[in-house]
Amino acid sequence: MKSKSPSAGSPSNADHQPSEVWIVIAAYNEAGRIDQTLSSLHSTRHNIIVVDDGSSDPTRELAAKHPVWTLRHPINCGQGATLQTGIDFAVSRGATAIVTFDADGQHDPADLPAMLQPIIEDACDVVLGSRFLGQTVDMPPLRRWILALATWFTRRTSGLRVTDTHNGFRVFSRKAATSIRIRQPRMAHASEILDQIATKGLRYVERPVTIRYTAATLEKGQKTSDAVRVSAQLLAGRIWK
């Protein structure tokens, strides 16, 4: 396997295509699903970054068999920290559009062109995927109810007119990616991103996406009880800036 090692933080924009798209995938113990997720993204022909968040399984090794960039945190830092690492890398490589995509196969690559279009047209800075504008497959009713509550809370606190929250399928323009700084290392990063979109006055739109739930993704994904933990993390983030 050939591999290249970049110099850290070497932004070089002049020689990049105007619409260079980088897909950032945060992966933690995804050995069972990363292969399928990456295979499904091959046809997009975009640059892909897999950031292994200190997995104890061969997630990185499996990802490295694909034509993608792989990075690895030496320890488990959390999804928010992992996405920021991927975004930093993409920005340093001259990305003009950065997609965040879940490693567990919940997202549908077929939604990607419609997600990218507003960024390519410079119609907005951030595109947020919405499962409630699109569709969900096998979503538990309790999860739907909790997300509806979280969305209502987000609308009240951030002022954003969103229909979904904590959806990991997003696209950032380069401007947005350099403007937003994810400081919440764990689950609360999703709310933090929305807060920063509001406070920094970034232009955003929502696009319908499909989210597929399986027993495995429900087992590993956010639990209903995590709502309290996310609130505590957000509060801590506001106290200790």
Partner 1 sequence: MNLFQWLTVPILLTLASLEVRAYLKNHQAIHLLRLAIWLTGLVLIVFPGLATAVADLLGIGRGTDLVFYAFMLLSTGGMFYLYGRNYMLRRDVVELARRDALRGATLGTQSPSTEVAASRESENGEGDER
Q: Minimum CB separation from partner 1 for residue 192, in Å?
A: 13
Least distance to partner 1, CB of residue 69, Å: 6
Among 31, 32, 57, 66, binds partner 1 (CB under 8 A): 66
Judged by CB under 8 A, does residue 47 bind partner 1?
yes
How far apart (Å, rounded) are the C-alpha atoms in residues 102 and 60?
Answer: 15
Q: Does 81 bind partner 1 (CB under 8 A)?
A: yes
- β-pair partners for 72: 52
4 near partner 1, rule: CB under 8 A: yes
Query: Taking CB under 8 A as the rule, does residue 215 contact partner 1?
Result: no
Residues 73/89, Cβ–Cβ less than 8 Å: no
Pick from 156, 201, 225, 240: which binds partner 1 (CB under 8 A)? 240
Q: Which stretch binds partner 1 (CB under 8 A): 64-72, 154-162, 171-179, 188-196?
A: 64-72
Q: Should residue 169 be labelled a site residue for partner 1 when binding is judged by CB under 8 A?
A: no
Count interface residues toward partner 1 (CB under 8 A): 47
For the chain, the distance separating the N- and C-terminal CA atoms, rounded to the nearest angstrom, is: 43
Which candidate, 183, 141, 189, places its Cα nearest to that of 166?
189
* Among 183, 187, 182, 153, CA closest to 167: 187
In the window 98-117, what residues touch partner 1 (CB under 8 A)?
Answer: none
**2 in contact with partner 1 (CB under 8 A):** yes
Phi, psi angles (nearest 5°) of residue 12:
-140, 95
**Calpha distance 24→3 (Å, rounded):** 18
Among 109, 118, 168, 185, binds partner 1 (CB under 8 A): 185
Residue of the chain from 144, 159, 236, 238 that contacts partner 1 (CB under 8 A):
236
Near partner 1 by CB under 8 A: residue from 25, 26, 27, 77: 77
Q: β-pairing, 170-173 with 126-137? A: antiparallel
Complex with partner 1: residue 63 or 115, whichever CB lies closer: 63
Q: How far is CA 1 from CA 36, 58, 68, 230, in A?
A: 19, 16, 12, 40
Measured distance CA(101)–CA(23) in Å, rounded: 7
d(CA 49, CA 104): 15
Residues that bind partner 1 (CB under 8 A): 1-10, 12, 15-16, 42, 45-47, 49, 51, 54, 63-75, 77-78, 81, 84-85, 88-89, 92-93, 183, 185, 236, 239-240
